[in-house]
Amino acid sequence: MDNILSLLIGLIFLAGMATPLLYRIWQKNTGLYLSVIPLIIFAVLIAELLQLAPRESSLLETSMGFLPGMEFAFRIDGLSLIFGLLISGIGVLILLHASYYMAKYDHQASFYTYLMFFMGAMIGMVFSDNLLVLFIFWEITSVASFFLIGFDHHAEKSRQAALQALLITGFGGLCLFFAVIITGNITGTYVISELLEQSIHLGNHPHYYLILTLTILAAITKSAQFPFHFWLPGAMQAPTPVSAYLHSATMVNAGIFLLMRIYPIMGGTMMWKYSLMLTGGITMFLGAFFSMGQRDFKRILAFTTISALGTMTLLVGIDTPDSLKAALIFFIVHGLYKGGLFMIAGIIDKSTGTRDIYDLHGLYKKMPLTTVVTLLALISMAGLPPMLGFLGKELIYEAKMQLPDVSWLLLPLGVGANIMMVAISITVFYELFIPDRKRKPIELKYKEKELPLRFTVGPILLAVVGLFLGLSPKFLETPVDNGLFFMGNQSAELSLSLWHGFNDVLILSIFTVLSGVLVFFIRRPVTRLIGKIITWLDRLHLPTLFTQLINKYVKSAAKNTNLLQHGYHRFYLLTFFLMVIALMGIQIFRITDIHLPELTPSPIKIHVALLLLVTACAVVFAVFAKSRLSAILTMGVVGYGIAMLYLYYGAVDLAITQFLAETVLMVLFVMVIYYLPEFAILSSKKSRLRDGIISIGVGVFITLIVLKAKFLNLETPVSEFFVANAYTEAHGRNIRNVILVDFRALDTMGELTVLTLAAAGVYSLFRFQIKILKKKKTGTDEPRQDDNKKMHV
Amino acid sequence: MEYIIAIFIGLLYACGVYLILRRSIVKVILGVFVLSNATSLIIFLSGGIQRGGAPFIPEGAETVDPATISDPLPQALILTAIVISLGISAYILALKYRYFDVTGTHDLDQLKNTDQR
């Protein structure tokens, strides 16, 4: 039993990778067979749930991991169980649903791959016990959702929506990454269990606000909270099963999960409360409000999801034991009805060919089963008894009423949002199912009975579960209690029941429902008003603004790149040298005040000085020479001068090699020179002056560096080892030679390789020319001398 | 003496840098020669420039007093450096030759458009 969960999560990923192969065998039944894996996971989790002790968590450790310190360890407690159950359970239904819905799509194999990866990453994320691993799974969900949303990649719209979702959630992912790293640095561990056990709270740390901001950014981008909410309606471009999954149990709920997970570590402060209440409150209201103005069933649902996510964020932000409890319960409620409703949208879309609720009417005669199921889900969404949604909403009201300082704002917002929810539920039901005598009946493409069971089982099961849990919420007590315990080490007084008695909350509920019904009756002016507001707000259309922002960014990046990558060789070099001067300048400045034992300079020898003077004159002359030949000859003087210097200081071999190399080079140069152009002064006077100043600067700095380095003799030279061992170990009397061919033989080998390659390069360059450009051929040169000049000693 | 050599190296560097900042490719190549020579000299200087004998172990002896000979290690390094710079210089020359052959220009600024545009 122990590590079966880890294996299963791995199995999901494996299945995802194998899907392209499996699809060839299973064809349209791929989804059907794949759903077995999440089903097993669901069963395992149910077994874990039955074993779950109220105040205990279990840890599944594995030795596998990305890196040391990032081992996969899975933590099973109430919180992860609730999320895991919903993700795997709804996952099964989604796969079944998709196996019919997607049957006529292209690239189904890749669809299932993305979906499996997405599912695996979600499950991995909620169970992972390591913040870094959590982050990695988090990112996988972002990437997988990108492919899922953009699945219909022929359409520009869906590509754009996918990109938008990816950029926003990816930005959140980066924030999460930084937050995780900083947290790990502060606490010294990335392991969640350890953080919880040591009851570390970062509230007093100086970096707390930074971490919290980053974490909240991560959560609200993922969970589509205001002002990042706009990617979610865009994500409607995804196939309906994907939307159903994204909205009900996964993706957008990941942000809520993150908030709950890190609540014990950084929750509960003023900033936590107010930032979450603010964004959650606004989102809750806006989502519900705008859902009224939509026509597309899926878009309506998308906006109600935004509202629901706002509610959850708000509840986590209110931060009382009751509100956290309400948030957890509401997550379950929402997952159950939203998954069902989206699948119903899929069913209706498939049967009628449209999702516009105002084009449809009177479906109840033709789709009685769908009608009942939809009714149950909508009741839950509206928060009416006997569904679990009622319980959820009651708890929410209770939580909101407990805060005297902010309830004056939260309560109206919450009640307002709920009124809209009730109204939209009734509107959807009315428009879809109640017949309108003035219009002609809707023709169905498929009769309800023709739809296979796997297509319809999802919403049915979810509605039944919602009803069941609503009637006997006791089943939820253990996991919720356990989750709450690990969230705050506090226990809320936990007794879940549908009937709370006649109190303020119930009055509020009744008021909500009545107002909702009222709004339903005046829905035409209301929708028109909201439509107007939406059009008016379209001037601030966030997706468009976002796209513009991205385009501007890309443009300015291109501009900057062109500025830096201008293509002028000398300016690259110029930048390089200026940087060198600057860095060396800083370094010299920094070490000026270090006093080290200075070595005495050796005495000046007049003849050597004269030699150097001549060489210096030669090099200056080479720079300003007008003719190529004189420049080359003076270069020869420079090389020979340096060789003489070597000779004077006892480096015989060096001098010989230098003489040889210089000669060969001169010969080579003279040979090619007649094929080369005359010297010409190409640069302007101004740029020559500038280059002159810069090169003098480089020269001065090099001199300073050389002097500094010269008089810093910090270590005993390693040469003493070579001197001592040259004869005894390597049996050679020429120490230099021994170093070259024995102690550092590999170096010499590399050197030979370079030489050979250069020779081969030179040879091929000339040969190539002879072959291709026969006209220009002038013969004579054979530049291969450089490799018959083998070296020295 | 060290001061003089250091200034000399600085001068070599100044000239080399000035040369490789030119637009004419021939001058750039000359600049590379100068810079590689100058760099060898830096290594040489780091070995200490007291005038010593060549680093040989005399016949019959097992070893030699390091103080009496010049430091062999920088010399070995420079040997490698000289040979490599020779190879590279020869290669650059050939490349330059081909380049001029194909493009008909020796102005480096003309090179800037070889990227795909």
Task: Determine whether the interchain pair A654/B17 forms a contact, defined as Cβ–Cβ distance below 8 Å.
Answer: no
d(C-alpha A613, C-alpha B114), whole Å: 42
- DSSP symbol at A677: P
What chain B holds in terms of domains, given with CATH numbers, is: 2-51+69-107 (1.10.287.3510)
Task: Let me know how long chain A is.
Answer: 793
Residue A488 banded pLDDT, cuts 50, 70, 90: low
DSSP secondary structure, A172-196, as one string:
HHHHHHHHHHHHHHHHS--BHHHHH
Q: What is the pLDDT of residue A790?
A: 38
Chain B nearest-CA residue for A778: B101
**ω into residue A227 within 30 of 0, thus cis?**
yes
Task: Determine whether the interchain pair B73/A734 forms a contact, defined as Cβ–Cβ distance below 8 Å.
Answer: no
- Report ipTM (2 d.p.): 0.90
Q: What is the pLDDT of residue A107?
A: 83
Give residue-wise pLDDT tens across range B5-22: 888 999 999 999 998 888
Nearest to B17 among A695, A719, A733 (CB): A695
Q: What is the pLDDT of residue A672?
A: 79
Contacts of B111 in chain A (CB under 8 A): 567, 569
With a pLDDT cut of 90, the percent of chain A lying above it is 13
B84 in contact with A, Cβ within 8 Å: yes
d(C-alpha A414, C-alpha A397), whole Å: 8
DSSP secondary structure, A566-633, as one string:
---HHHHHHHHHHHHHHHHHHHHHHHTT---PPPPPPPPPHHHHHHHHHHHHHHHHHHH-SSHHHHHH
Minimum distance, in Å, between the CA of residue B36 and any CA atom of chain A: 10
- A126-130, A593-597, B69-73: least confident range: A593-597
Question: What's CA A424's distance to the chain center, in Å?
Answer: 35
A203 in contact with B, Cβ within 8 Å: no
Chain B nearest-CA residue for A675: B97
pLDDT at A608 over 50: yes
Minimum distance, in Å, between the CA of residue B16 and any CA atom of chain A: 8
Highest mean pLDDT among A445-449, A486-490, A640-644, B23-27: A640-644
Q: What is the pLDDT of residue A480?
A: 81
Task: Determine whether the interchain pair B83/A658 forms a contact, defined as Cβ–Cβ distance below 8 Å.
Answer: no
- Here the tokens at position A19 are 């899907």
Q: What is the pLDDT of residue B111?
A: 64
Q: What is the pLDDT of residue A109?
A: 86
B99 in contact with A, Cβ within 8 Å: no
Residue A793 banded pLDDT, cuts 50, 70, 90: very low
B104 in contact with A, Cβ within 8 Å: no
Contacts of A653 in chain B (CB under 8 A): 54, 75, 79
B53 has which bridge partners?
Answer: B69
Q: Do residues A652 and A608 make contact, with C-beta atoms less than 8 angstroms apart?
A: no
Residues 584-643 on A with a CB inside 8 Å of B are: 601-605, 608-609, 612, 615-616, 619-620, 622-623, 628, 631-632, 635, 638-639, 642
Residues in Cβ contact with A6 at an 8 Å cutoff, skipping those fewer than 6 apart: A60, A62, A64, A72, A74
Residue A787 banded pLDDT, cuts 50, 70, 90: very low
A664 in contact with B, Cβ within 8 Å: yes
pLDDT at A792 over 50: no
Give residue-wise pLDDT tens across range A287-333: 888 888 888 888 899 999 999 999 899 888 888 777 888 888 889 88
Taking all residues of chain A, what is their mean pLDDT, rounded to a whole number? 83
Which of A300, A260, A248, A253 lies closest to A92 in space, CA to CA? Answer: A248
Domain ranges of chain A: 270-521
pLDDT at A788 over 70: no
Contacts of B73 in chain A (CB under 8 A): 717-719, 722, 739
Contacts of B104 in chain A (CB under 8 A): none
d(C-alpha A515, C-alpha A507), whole Å: 12
Give residue-wise pLDDT tens across range A703-738: 888 877 766 555 666 777 888 887 888 788 888 888
- Number of A/B CB contacts below 8 angstroms equals 301
B43 in contact with A, Cβ within 8 Å: no
A745 in contact with B, Cβ within 8 Å: no
pLDDT at A193 over 60: yes
Ramachandran sector of residue A715 (left: φ over 0; alpha: ψ -120 to 50; beta: rest) = beta
Task: Determine whether the interchain pair A735/B55 forms a contact, defined as Cβ–Cβ distance below 8 Å.
Answer: yes
Nearest to A761 among B57, B84, B94 (CB): B94
Question: What's CA B83's distance to the chain center, in Å?
Answer: 10
A748 in contact with B, Cβ within 8 Å: yes
Which of A213, A233, A204 lies closest to A279 in space, CA to CA? Answer: A213
Contacts of B37 in chain A (CB under 8 A): 638-639, 642
Q: For A325, phi and psi rounded to 5 degrees?
A: -60, -45
Residues A604-638 as b or e (16 or more Cβ within 10 Å = b) = eeeebeebbeebbebbbbbbebeebeebbbbbbbb
Contacts of A573 in chain B (CB under 8 A): 20-21
Q: What is the pLDDT of residue B65?
A: 75
Q: What is the pLDDT of residue A498?
A: 63
A766 in contact with B, Cβ within 8 Å: yes
Interface residue of B12, B28, B36, B37 to substitute, partner A, most A CBs within 10 Å: B37
Task: Determine whether the interchain pair A675/B24 forms a contact, defined as Cβ–Cβ distance below 8 Å.
Answer: no
A176 in contact with B, Cβ within 8 Å: no
Task: Determine whether the interchain pair B66/A783 forms a contact, defined as Cβ–Cβ distance below 8 Å.
Answer: no
Which of A305, A322, A215 lies closest to A267 in space, CA to CA? Answer: A215
**ω into residue A386 within 30 of 0, thus cis?**
yes
Residue A783 banded pLDDT, cuts 50, 70, 90: very low
Task: Determine whether the interchain pair B13/A612 forms a contact, defined as Cβ–Cβ distance below 8 Å.
Answer: no
